[in-house]
Amino acid sequence: MDIPANSLKNLKRWVIRHWLAYDERALRAFLDRIGVRASDTLMVHSSWRALNGFQGTPAQFCAALRESVGESGLVVMPSLTYQNQSSAEFLAIGKPMDVRRSPSAMGLLSEVFRRGKGVVRSLSPTHPLLAWGHDAAKFIAGHEQTDRPFGPDSPFSRLLERDALILCVDTGFESITFTHYVEDRFADTLAVPLYEPEPMPGTVIDREGNRIDCPTRVLSREANRLRREARLIDHLQRNRLLLARRLGNTRFTWIRATDLLAGAEQLVASGLHFFDAPVVQSLDSSATGHERVGQSSHRRRAGVNGPAAQR
């Protein structure tokens, strides 16, 4: 016998409401169990779902995050103003990022957090970060002064310095922007340029309404094509650096920034990489199949304990 779709939806809501529900107190207890402590830096990526089981509003969820680290800690969220397009495509439009007015396109939780009291926003045309808590203004400072939005002079490098816990709420590893910082650290081990040759023009509008020109480097099309993030995810999971667990009907995934960097270093040192080398047809008529350009030099450099960390 077929069950009406509405009945299935109502049954799902009933199960979540009675068996998979949790409140702010349970969320704080969960964060404590996975290692979030007072004074921590917590970087949160999220996708808010109506049936996530949380018995409260997005604002109350944000409040629980803040309470878990306290005023001596820091809560950070991404607030990119575009989605379903690359940074290059966004910059090509020529639309400025207004630090006060441009909404976050990184989900409802991020936008609610952006509007919260005491939250500040970095001045990056492509990868602005939101921050609340101790030294929040210092954390985001100078983002507009670097042409590499997740490079060593960006707030993303400070996530590593603070050994931030990166938390994904109902979204996957692919949402973690800190991995771009890792890629930047490993740029000289790639067989292709990580960035396009020339910066693209970008503009931000600060809190006083001043327009600031921010030339911005964007990831190259070739690097994006050759990225093999699944290889890095597998390594992190097998070494229990990337962890996941459910609370209610919400899936949480988390990793420390230092562990993400260390895992990437281990993977590259093993002779593997989370970027492939380009494949071209061999010009040698005696050769068969394809050859990987730059493979030997890529592996030789991969073992060096150089800088690493990102996205």
Q: What was the pLDDT predicted at 5?
A: 58
| Residue among 49, 215, 44 nearest 130 (CA) | 44
Q: What was the pLDDT predicted at 300?
A: 29
Single pTM value for the model: 0.86
Q: What was the pLDDT predicted at 150?
A: 96
Q: What was the pLDDT predicted at 68?
A: 98
Rounded-to-integer distance, Cα 117 and Cα 120, Å: 9
pLDDT tens track for 238-287? 999 999 999 999 999 999 999 999 999 999 999 999 999 998 655 554 43
Given a cut of 50, the residues of the chain with pLDDT beneath it are 1, 3, 285-311
Task: Indicate the angle between helix axes 178-185 and 257-269, nearest 10 degrees.
Answer: 40
Instruction: Provide the CB-side half-sphere exposure for 120 (13 A, CA).
Output: 18
Radius of gyration of the chain (CA): 21
| Residue among 292, 236, 238 nearest 260 (CA) | 236
- Read off the tokens for 310: 């990102």
Rounded-to-integer distance, Cα 63 and Cα 237, Å: 30
143, 122 contact by CB (below 8 A) = yes
Task: Indicate the angle between helix axes 24-33 and 58-69, nearest 10 degrees.
Answer: 40
Q: What was the pLDDT predicted at 298?
A: 30
pLDDT tens track for 67-90? 999 999 999 999 999 999 999 999
216-245 per-residue burial string, b: 16 or more CB within 10 A, e: under 16: bbbbbebbeebbebeebbebbbeeebbeee
